[in-house]
A and B are shown apart, each in its own frame.
Chain A
């Protein structure tokens, strides 16, 4: 259980990164706040999301929203500490310069009312909204933004820090980032980092910020208790007129699935963001509302292609693995109708996800194994992270299929620590079952790029690395999506990664909550717009 929690944490962190940087489309033109018409387009990314709230009736004021999440942060109001769960835990109270737009469509103004990204002069300029106040009454100014970024930098928590020359405070509400190099991932990374009150942290110290939070968001932190929960109360001075609607938000950190699901059934909470597939389908049958997102996680099998002694240097064997898997049956048995089989490393709606390379064909798999010279079977090992009850059903099921076609699988169910280390350092033997999240160029970079997560075990041919380098200079979203699709196809063609299925992120609520949280992936939650029926 706690192991589950931890495993979940590690996955979530990786997925969080992927989603947080999901807004890195390089619009190099000044964007205006109203892109309403774009918002309603049913774009490829928006596969099967369930957003009935958008058209629902008028919001009502008041009420308390009770949210169950799987785990809380170790610190809540500190700009850089707190671990995986920090960002999600701060959603009610913390905001960033720009916000993720719905449905993976890039960025929109939030604390900055406009921005200008100028690749030719290598600057990014943000024009701040005037009159935005932190919960302690101090004002959000360019100085405060600069202080926040200097703080991230001093703690080594700023990605692409090498690209930053200086932060210029042009006037009270204008801040300019001067770069020495431009890649299209920077804006998406930096503009969504949470901003905290300089005054509060300087006056009370960093230690204080472990349990106190001062942001600009629609809710003020009333009380945070580690491993228990957080209580938030309405920010009466919120900068968006007439918002928020709710009086209170309460977060409960409940690691046990069974406990959380019974809390939902008993009416002790309104929303649960961490239900597994089983509980999702079970509660849906009982009348709870399930909202699915376009975003999610992809379960894939990664052969170690860097290890020169690995039999999986041979492409035929990698292909044999894919031919051996009945992904449809796998997804159906494990996913309760939630999981979808995938043909590439991304889900079917994403750029590059709509092309099938190999379908279930055990006979072909056997034949490939024979051709590769393994006539009496090939002993291999599969490493996977331990799940509940010491099992990993995905790896077990995969092993079952591979044994059918002539592999002799030895399962290696590893603890989170060892799994992470082996994956990170690339010293896993043969195959690893991993959970990834690729939705756009930024997450491509994190998972599969030359510096990506599987850096030690996944072979990246020079050709592929060149494609990657080039993609980082592309400026429009259309170009970026095109480049992403090409890279996705490259990996699939070479069978460097064997895709299995996609699991959408989702939330469950009791039917009274109105939120479109999951349209922004999991990178943002517009608490100011959330309301609850009486």
Chain B
């Protein structure tokens, strides 16, 4: 077990190295010149002498061959230096420390919120298969997956923010500052992030329960005359949760994916908004760091999911 974990961690490092390659070289292909845009924004394109612009290129190492730039970037990463943002002119690590907690706050809340209803709904739908409950749940969950997030967001804002005035329309407040207000701000973004999650979890749970329910040991349990509660809890629920864990691993990725759109609509200062802004400003220092951090978190959580398999499913052995 231990050697398995160590081995997986080492592979994890290799994958992260591959991620740095992808991030770096894909982003360097971005058309346009980030410094040009930066200078344009700061209206210096005409006032800056050529030497000064060259100095800026040197400051960002843009005058060096691309492989040297890559080596420098990785070397600095290892020292914990994420580089200097072109548009923000500040250390990217600092920026990330501002953004990551916000995205995690919104995303993890959405993640947890999607978990419990998803599992419950899926379980009920499967146990009452082909009943009206199943049909309603199925239709709702398919709709939940099919609805474009930005559309859902608009409808929520329209109903709860504008018509009913129950919730603030946009913005973000740290929970340490004002917990109640922060939670109110969180409700709509969390619904947007978690609805597709609830639907996907319910769907997966439903088919997983159906599969488990047809296993011999479950039939045996029924035929022994055990109460429904006992069968469901002890045999079906526990075993059908295993595929859900894989799904959860995948949903970590959706947290970041969802944040890209949700943060823009609700004006939440998280990583998704920073990423989109940076792509348009072509601030590749920020894009690199942003994408890298997302990828590292996703890879590590997938690793965690794999390892936790053994804990849930004793049939899996690590070798």
Contacts of B52 in A (CB 8 A): 156
Q: For the complex formed, measure the closest distance between the CB of B276 and the CB atoms of chain A, giving whole angstroms.
A: 4
Let me know if A262 and B157 touch, CB within 8 A: yes
Q: How long is the Cα–Cα vector from A5 to B98 in the complex, in angstroms? A: 21
Q: Which chain B residues in 17-65 approach chain A with CB under 8 Å?
A: 30-33, 36-37, 40-49, 52
Q: Which residue of B lies closest to A269 (CB)?
A: B169
Report if A9-B47 is in contact (Cβ < 8 Å); known contacts: A1-B265, A258-B154, A263-B169.
no
Q: B181-205, CB under 8 A of A: which get 1 and which 0?
A: 0000000000000000000000000
Q: For the complex formed, measure the closest distance between the CB of A284 and the CB atoms of chain B, giving whole angstroms.
A: 18
Let me know if B42 and A83 touch, CB within 8 A: yes
Q: Does B176 contact A (CB under 8 A)?
A: no
Let me know if A13 and B46 touch, CB within 8 A: no
Q: Which chain A residues in 419-439 approach chain B with CB under 8 Å?
A: 420-421, 424
Let me know if A266 and B267 touch, CB within 8 A: no
Q: Does A255 contact B (CB under 8 A)?
A: yes
Let me know if A418 and B47 touch, CB within 8 A: no
Let me know if A5 and B42 touch, CB within 8 A: no
Partner of B280, one of A207, A266, A417, A451: A417
Q: Which residue of B lies closest to A263 (CB)?
A: B169
Q: Does B175 contact A (CB under 8 A)?
A: no
Q: Which residue of A lies closest to B170 (CB)?
A: A259
Let me know if B170 and A424 touch, CB within 8 A: no
Q: How long is the Cα–Cα vector from A233 to B79 in the complex, in angstroms? A: 41
Q: Which chain A residues in 6-61 approach chain B with CB under 8 Å?
A: 6, 9-10, 13, 16-17
Let me know if A420 and B89 touch, CB within 8 A: no
Let me know if A228 and B264 touch, CB within 8 A: no
Partner of B277, one of A6, A158, A265, A417: A6
Report if A161-B172 is in contact (Cβ < 8 Å); known contacts: A259-B265, A417-B30, A417-B280.
no
Q: Does A486 contact B (CB under 8 A)?
A: no
Contacts of A263 in B (CB 8 A): 161, 169-170
Report if A259-B31 is in contact (Cβ < 8 Å); known contacts: A75-B88, A210-B90.
no
Contacts of A391 in B (CB 8 A): none
Q: Which chain B residues in 230-276 approach chain A with CB under 8 Å?
A: 264-267, 269, 273-274, 276
Q: For the complex formed, measure the closest distance between the CB of A485 and the CB atoms of chain B, giving whole angstroms.
A: 24
Let me know if A156 and B269 touch, CB within 8 A: no
Q: How long is the Cα–Cα vector from A184 to B168 in the complex, in angstroms? A: 49
Partner of B41, one of A9, A253, A421: A9
Q: For the complex formed, measure the closest distance between the CB of A369 and the CB atoms of chain B, giving whole angstroms.
A: 33
Report if A256-B87 is in contact (Cβ < 8 Å); known contacts: A13-B41, A157-B42.
no
Q: How long is the Cα–Cα vector from A80 to B48 in the complex, in angstroms? A: 13
Q: Does B7 contact A (CB under 8 A)?
A: no
Contacts of A262 in B (CB 8 A): 157-158, 161-162, 169
Let me know if A156 and B44 touch, CB within 8 A: yes
Contacts of A446 in B (CB 8 A): 46
Q: Which residue of B lies closest to A259 (CB)?
A: B170
Let me know if B267 and A254 touch, CB within 8 A: yes
Q: Does A252 contact B (CB under 8 A)?
A: yes
Q: Does A231 contact B (CB under 8 A)?
A: no
Partner of B90, one of A75, A252, A256: A75
Q: Which residue of A lies closest to B272 (CB)?
A: A2
Contacts of A2 in B (CB 8 A): 264, 273, 276-277, 280
Q: Does A384 contact B (CB under 8 A)?
A: no
Let me know if A420 and B40 touch, CB within 8 A: yes
Q: Does B165 contact A (CB under 8 A)?
A: yes
Let me know if B157 and A259 touch, CB within 8 A: yes
Let me know if B169 and A451 touch, CB within 8 A: no
Let me know if A159 and B47 touch, CB within 8 A: yes
Contacts of A266 in B (CB 8 A): 161-162, 165, 169
Q: Which chain B residues in 287-315 approach chain A with CB under 8 Å?
A: none
Let me know if A1 and B264 touch, CB within 8 A: yes
Q: Does B171 contact A (CB under 8 A)?
A: yes
Let me know if A74 and B32 touch, CB within 8 A: no
Q: Does A493 contact B (CB under 8 A)?
A: no
Q: How long is the Cα–Cα vector from A415 to B280 in the complex, in angstroms? A: 8
Contacts of B265 in A (CB 8 A): 1, 256, 259
Q: Does A178 contact B (CB under 8 A)?
A: no
Q: Does A533 contact B (CB under 8 A)?
A: no
Q: For the complex formed, measure the closest distance between the CB of B114 and the CB atoms of chain A, giving whole angstroms.
A: 23
Q: For the complex formed, measure the closest distance between the CB of B96 and the CB atoms of chain A, giving whole angstroms.
A: 12
Q: Does B141 contact A (CB under 8 A)?
A: no
Let me know if A417 and B170 touch, CB within 8 A: no
Q: Does A510 contact B (CB under 8 A)?
A: no
Q: Does B281 contact A (CB under 8 A)?
A: yes
Q: How long is the Cα–Cα vector from A75 to B157 in the complex, in angstroms? A: 30
Q: How long is the Cα–Cα vector from A290 to B201 in the complex, in angstroms? A: 48
Contacts of A254 in B (CB 8 A): 170, 267
Let me know if A159 and B266 touch, CB within 8 A: no
Contacts of A157 in B (CB 8 A): 42, 44, 47
Q: Which residue of B lies closest to A258 (CB)?
A: B154
Contacts of B103 in A (CB 8 A): none
Let me know if B154 and A228 touch, CB within 8 A: no
Let me know if A228 and B267 touch, CB within 8 A: yes
Let me know if A74 and B269 touch, CB within 8 A: no
Contacts of A156 in B (CB 8 A): 44, 47-49, 52
Q: Does B282 contact A (CB under 8 A)?
A: yes
Q: For the complex formed, measure the closest distance between the CB of B174 and the CB atoms of chain A, giving whole angstroms.
A: 9
Let me know if A268 and B47 touch, CB within 8 A: no
Q: Does A199 contact B (CB under 8 A)?
A: no
Contacts of B168 in A (CB 8 A): 268
Q: Does A225 contact B (CB under 8 A)?
A: yes
Q: Which residue of A lies closest to B276 (CB)?
A: A2
Q: How long is the Cα–Cα vector from A404 to B168 in the complex, in angstroms? A: 49
Report if A265-B162 is in contact (Cβ < 8 Å); known contacts: A256-B265, A451-B46.
yes
Let me know if B264 and A10 touch, CB within 8 A: no
Q: Does A81 contact B (CB under 8 A)?
A: yes
Partner of A421, one of B33, B87, B98, B280: B33
Partner of A252, one of B45, B47, B267: B267
Q: Does A460 contact B (CB under 8 A)?
A: no
Let me know if A227 and B158 touch, CB within 8 A: no
Q: How long is the Cα–Cα vector from A160 to B49 in the complex, in angstroms? A: 11
Q: Which chain A residues in 197-226 approach chain B with CB under 8 Å?
A: 207, 210, 225-226
Q: Does A90 contact B (CB under 8 A)?
A: no
Let me know if A74 and B88 touch, CB within 8 A: yes
Q: For the complex formed, measure the closest distance between the CB of B279 and the CB atoms of chain A, giving whole angstroms.
A: 8
Let me know if B154 and A255 touch, CB within 8 A: no
Q: How long is the Cα–Cα vector from A79 to B87 in the complex, in angstroms? A: 15
Let me know if A229 and B171 touch, CB within 8 A: yes
Q: Which chain A residues in 312-355 approach chain B with CB under 8 Å?
A: none
Q: List 30 A-B contacts (CB under 8 A).
A: A2-B273, A2-B277, A5-B277, A5-B280, A10-B40, A10-B41, A13-B40, A13-B43, A75-B88, A75-B89, A80-B42, A84-B42, A156-B47, A156-B49, A210-B90, A226-B98, A227-B267, A228-B267, A255-B267, A259-B266, A262-B157, A263-B170, A266-B161, A268-B168, A417-B30, A417-B280, A418-B31, A420-B40, A421-B32, A424-B45
Query: A residues within 8 Å of B by Cβ?
Result: 1-3, 5-6, 9-10, 13, 16-17, 74-75, 80-81, 83-84, 156-161, 207, 210, 225-229, 252-256, 258-260, 262-263, 265-266, 268, 415-418, 420-421, 424, 446, 451
Q: For the complex of A and B, list the 9 residue pairs with the smallest distance between their C-beta atoms, beginning with the closest.
A: A417-B32, A6-B280, A227-B269, A2-B276, A159-B47, A74-B88, A156-B52, A262-B162, A156-B48
